[in-house]
Structure 1
Amino acid sequence: MRAKITYFITAAVLVVFFVLVGGRAVAMMRLGTPLGVGLGLAALIIPLIGVWFLWKNTQFVRKANKLAALLDAEGALPVDELRRTPAGRIDRDSADEVFARRRAETEDSPADWRCWFRLAVAYQDARDTPRARRAMQRAIALHDGKQLPS
């Protein structure tokens, strides 16, 4: 729940920022000078890219949460199996064991979105966000009936 609140607050702040930047961009374009129009158009690109990025990220989170709800309903939601040091750091041997199991599971059933979801969770638990995101994107695509390139 805390993550959802943080996400919505961050999204709201970004939307306010996009509106402010967009307003300044329009004001520069209204100057009518070539420099003002050029800078205004350039400044307008920032909020447009930001809105697109926020939309894509929101869709990704919504779809990942949908898969998590499906796994939860099946009673198959993965748990954090990684051992931690007293300082809270992940024990490397533990992580290697979990990743080996998850990768083997995924290699045995490469078309099963559940395997890719569990692999994504293992990566996220280990704070490997880029790999977690790619694995979750594959899980989403497989669930939606799409096939991503290897």
Structure 2
Amino acid sequence: MTSRTGFFLLSAALLVVSLICVGEGVQLIATGKPLGIGLGVCAFVVPAIGVWFLRATVRFGRASERLAKELEAEGGLPVDELRRTPGGRIDRASADEVFARRKAEAEAAQGDWRVFFRLAVAYADAGDTPRARKTMQHAIKLHGSSTDPIGSKS
């Protein structure tokens, strides 16, 4: 199963659970009892948080994909330059070596979203997903400010 398929399956499950929560929330509020009303309101908040998170994830994915396509058109996408074990896993020393090079590039060109995109890929290859995501968000922010001087979001 690809990550995109998994995402769509989990999104569908989130939406189904959200509908169930809202339905149960309506029934709890209809009881007219203070405790039921309180729990019913909470049943609306939980799906709202889930939908917000889903929306943020979709926006992040689309923005990352847009940057990747633009970088690919420029011929600047990072190629798979990592050594692998016979089993196909990334060699840790190779990932660390590429990461050090990408980090130096990012420190030298602080305002270039391209180097931060490549650094995010290096973080992901090194297995540091939280930093990869944060670095990709920084690249997206830099890209937005470089194409739109006013800084408005689409």
Normalised by the length of structure 2, the TM-score is 0.88
Asked if 1 retains the 8 angstrom alpha-carbon contact of 2:95 and 2:125, the reply is no
Q: Cα offset for 1:95?
A: 1.4
> Whole-Å Cα distance in 2 between the matches of residues 27 and 79 of structure 1?
55
Q: Is 2:50 the partner of 1:50?
A: yes
Partner of 1:135: 135
Consecutive unaligned residues of structure 2, counting only runs of 5 or more, are none
Q: Could you give the per-residue CA deviations for residues 25-59 of structure 1, whole angstroms, max 9, x where no partner exists?
A: 12111111001001111222110110111111110
Partner of 2:97: 97
RMSD: 1.8
Which amino acid letter does the alignment assign opposite residue 68 of structure 2? A
> Whole-Å Cα distance in 1 between the matches of residues 3 and 132 of structure 2?
17
Which amino acid letter does the alignment assign opposite residue 32 of structure 2? G
Which amino acid letter does the alignment assign opposite residue 57 of structure 2? N
Partner of 1:13: 13
The alignment-based identity, stated in percent, is 55
Partner of 2:33: 33
Partner of 2:118: 118
Q: How many residues align?
A: 147
Asked if 2 retains the 8 angstrom alpha-carbon contact of 1:84 and 1:90, the reply is yes
Which amino acid letter does the alignment assign opposite residue 56 of structure 2? K
> Whole-Å Cα distance in 2 between the matches of residues 61 and 89 of structure 1?
25
Asked if 1 retains the 8 angstrom alpha-carbon contact of 2:113 and 2:139, the reply is yes
User: Mean Cα displacement is larger for which, 26-35 or 76-85?
Assistant: 76-85
Partner of 1:106: 106
Normalised by the length of structure 1, the TM-score is 0.90
Consecutive unaligned residues of structure 1, counting only runs of 5 or more, are none
Partner of 1:64: 64
Partner of 1:3: 3
Asked if 2 retains the 8 angstrom alpha-carbon contact of 1:119 and 1:135, the reply is yes
